[in-house]
Amino acid sequence: MSKFSRLYSWYFGIPILEIILIIILSPPNYDSQTRLIGALAGVVSYAFFTFEFILTARPVPIEKEMGQDKLIKFHMWMSVLALLLAVAHMQQTMNSGDSYKPLIPMIGYGILIGYALIILLAYFFLSKKPKPGKTLAIRYNISMFIHNFSMLVTVVLLRHVMQAEATTESLILKIIYIGHFLVALGYWIYHKVVRTILLKKSPYTVTEIRKETKDIWALVLSKVDGKVMDYEAGQFGYLSILQKGFSKEFHPFSYASSPNEDKITILIKELGDYTLKLGEIKVGTMALLDGPYGSFKPLTGTQDELVFIAGGVGITPFLSSLGVLKETAPDKKVTLLYGMRTQEDLIKTAFFEDLEKTMPNFRYVPVLSDDDGWAGDIGFIDQPCLEKFAACEDPEPENQTKEYFICGPPLMISLVQNSLRQMEVSYKYVHVEQF
């Protein structure tokens, strides 16, 4: 069974089993098509809404299978689907022609409005990136409000489903609905409280903070009580800086250091929120690091040649991967295509140039899009660029010798993926991580 099938089997399977159980337990309550459709939409919406708390808590088995990118997208779309089902439930319930307790539709409309607000706030505030030079200090407060408000909505939602006619007549249905709520509450408490308590028992300390380029910082962390966490090249962790003036929110950052090192280095680009205050971090400051997470692991490639394609701070997982290859497989064929705007934006140039000397089959190709004084490759990492440096020799998947790993901003990833499709690169040899 594939990783997606395993997730879908419980995410969609549990509501289906509950629908069957509900119909068996209370068939008289669904004596019309309208009432049946409304009831089923409500049951699935309630289940999906409580499942969202499981996804938010980043359970390792699910995150390990899907990767954070896909998990976040799945989380977002399932929220939208739960909202649409709630709308269908309300519409069918109000049109059923039956007389309901006034409290039930009132609560239902309140839930619907609250859920819509959650999705809108998440979309417009959490996913929004600040303009250059601007901050989004409100982002943390909004995220906290959304999580707390979600739990409040769930409490109201539980009251709503417990007053449904079918529920009042069945102890089993009461147990099912309360069980959903308790699972959601348990994951919410773990995510908001327990995880932080556990991490504080094994904190990190900031041993170095330096500026790599005009807007990218390197933060070096050491474990207070011993060895740093075990992780694989390409993975990331959630960081919280325990210094006055910084929010306690956890932010995801990839590890730039090799897993063989006794310290963890992460690269952070100034984008807003507290990232614009990175220069204020003091050496010796305590930090919490939750991880590792992520299924983007360039060293898992099985083909003869690895092609690393990076844009911006998306170079981070490849720094970690190349650090490992330098020590363990210096003869490995590796091509690194690194897209940036100007020479000043390039990071770790000396490191890559040194690798070209110590790794005979390593090739470093910086591609700049906005530097008139650049004597190297200019433009974007598009199809002509890929065909020049990392061509696919044969359209037959079994004859292809390269494996492509892409990490960077969405537009760059889209351009590279489209180009690789035009080059007839097999999808199974293309791996993506969005920054």
Which residue spans of the chain are classified as CATH 1.20.120.1770?
A: 3-200
pLDDT category, 410, cuts 50, 70, 90?
confident
DSSP string covering 376-427, please? SEES-S-HHHHHHHS----SSGGG--EEEEEEE-HHHHHHHHHHHHHTT--G
- Encode burial over 325-343: b for 16+ CB neighbours within 10 A, e otherwise: bbeeeeebbbbbbbbbeee
Q: Give the pair of three-digit tokens for residue 157.
A: 């939602």
| pLDDT classification of 101: cutoffs 50, 70, 90 | very low
Quick check: 194 pLDDT over 70?
yes
Tokens 């041993």, located at residue: 207
Give the global pTM. Answer: 0.80
Enumerate residues 6+ apart whose C-beta is below 8 A from 284.
205, 206
Cα separation, 414 vs 152, whole angstroms: 38
What sign has the CA pseudo-torsion 114, 118, 119, 120? positive
pLDDT digits (tens, 9 = 90+) for 360-407: 999 999 999 988 888 888 999 999 999 999 998 888 888 899 999 999
Mean pLDDT of 333-357: 93
DSSP state of 423: T
Q: What pLDDT does 276 receive?
A: 73
> CA–CA separation, 107 vs 90, rounded Å?
10
117-126 average pLDDT score: 53
* CATH 2.40.30.10 in the chain, residue ranges: 204-293
> What CATH superfamily is the domain 204-293?
Translation factors (2.40.30.10)
**Fold annotation for 298-434:** Rossmann fold (3.40.50)
Residues 222-240 as b/e (b if ≥16 CB within 10 A, e otherwise) read bbeeeebbebbbbbbbbbb
**pLDDT value, residue 137:** 39
Q: Where in the chain is the domain with CATH 3.40.50.80?
A: 298-434
CATH topology assigned to domain 3-200: Four Helix Bundle (Hemerythrin (Met), subunit A) (1.20.120)
Q: In whole angstroms, give the CA distance from residue 202 to residue 225.
A: 7
Is the previous residue joined to 317 through a cis bond, with omega within 30 degrees of 0?
Answer: no
Share of the chain above pLDDT 90, in %: 38
Distance CA 132, CA 265 (A): 25
**Mean pLDDT (whole number) for 154-164:** 80
Mean pLDDT of the region 70-76? 76
> pLDDT confidence of 30, banded at 50, 70, 90?
low
Q: Are 255 and 237 in contact (CB under 8 A)?
A: yes
Structure tokens at 432: 């993506």
Range 53-61 average pLDDT: 82
